[in-house]
Chains A and B, each alone.
Chain A
Amino acid sequence: DAGITQSPRHKVTETGTPVTLRCHQTENHRYMYWYRQDPGHGLRLIHYSYGVKDTDKGEVSDGYSVSRSKTEDFLLTLESATSSQTSVYFCAISEGLADTQYFGPGTRLTVL
């Protein structure tokens, strides 16, 4: 998976609890992305980063925040998880914004 790891791979949590997902890359790519994938919706971009401390919103950013303190790490935080955030979350990386994206293995999050 192009030197991309995600942790945890599976998580079950309760409504209202904070959750942080981690994406780690060893490719030194500038751009990193968080997507969620739900049946019938394909891949929807949550947030992306174009450098350390530089992030921007995607199409479904409400309820999510991100941080990137190092080139290799991109964190996705659900401040107060809701059942609608039950999904599979994918991290991706790319050299340029319009370049091929390489995806991590995904994190399956269940919010009860």
Chain B
Amino acid sequence: QQQVKQSPQSLIVQKGGISIINCAYENTAFDYFPWYQQFPGKGPALLIAIRPDVSEKKEGRFTISFNKSAKQFSLHIMDSQPGDSATYFCAASIRGATNKLIFGTGTLLAVQP
């Protein structure tokens, strides 16, 4: 119940296309869903996060879509650019609880020019 399943493992997108990464969870108590972006040779960095009281959150070209009934959330990168090439991790937790942030296994995104 504590797992967060992320797909696909890797993704190749053409410049200008839409990149979509999906995550699914089982624990309905999760109420915080951050996405991390990691460039080669760097540590993961918080990209965008959402709470389940909204179905979508947008920051620039990055959008999180949240489907509470399906227990799924996804990251959409619009107008993907070569500079977006990185590894993306989804995560989930229960804010204020004693459970740790649970990470997905990551998606390696390559945006081809």
A residues sitting closer than 8 Å to B (CB atoms) are 1, 4, 40-43, 45, 48, 90, 92, 94, 96-106
- Spell out B's residues near A (CB within 8 Å): 9, 32, 34, 36, 41-46, 49, 89, 93-101, 103-106
When C-beta atoms are compared, the residue in chain B nearest to A105 turns out to be B43
User: How many whole Å from A98's CB to the nearest CB in chain B?
Assistant: 4
B32, B94, B101, B105 interface centre (most CB from chain A within 10 Å): B101
Q: Which of A42, A48, A103, A106 contacts B105 (CB 8 A)?
A: A42
* Chain A facing B: main interface SS: loop
Do residues B96 and A98 form an inter-chain contact, with CB atoms below 8 A?
Answer: yes
B2 to chain A, nearest CB (A): 10
Whether A99 contacts B46 in the complex (CB less than 8 A), given A42-B89, A42-B104, comes out as: no
Give the complex CA separation of A90 and B42 in angstroms. 9
B104 CB, min distance to chain A CBs, angstroms: 7
A90 nearest CB neighbor, chain B only: B43
Partner pick for B95 among A43, A45, A92, A99, CB 8 A cutoff = A99
Q: How far is the CA of A97 from the CA of B96 in the complex (A)?
A: 8
Contact (Cβ within 8 A) B101 A99: yes
A42-B104, A48-B100 given as contacts; is B43 within 8 A of A98 (CB)?
no
| Bound complex: CA A4 to CA B42 (Å) | 12
A43, B89: Cβ atoms closer than 8 Å: yes
20 A–B contacts from the bound complex (CB under 8 Å): A40-B9, A42-B89, A42-B104, A43-B44, A43-B89, A90-B43, A90-B44, A96-B95, A98-B95, A98-B98, A98-B99, A98-B101, A99-B93, A99-B95, A99-B101, A102-B45, A103-B43, A103-B44, A106-B42, A106-B43
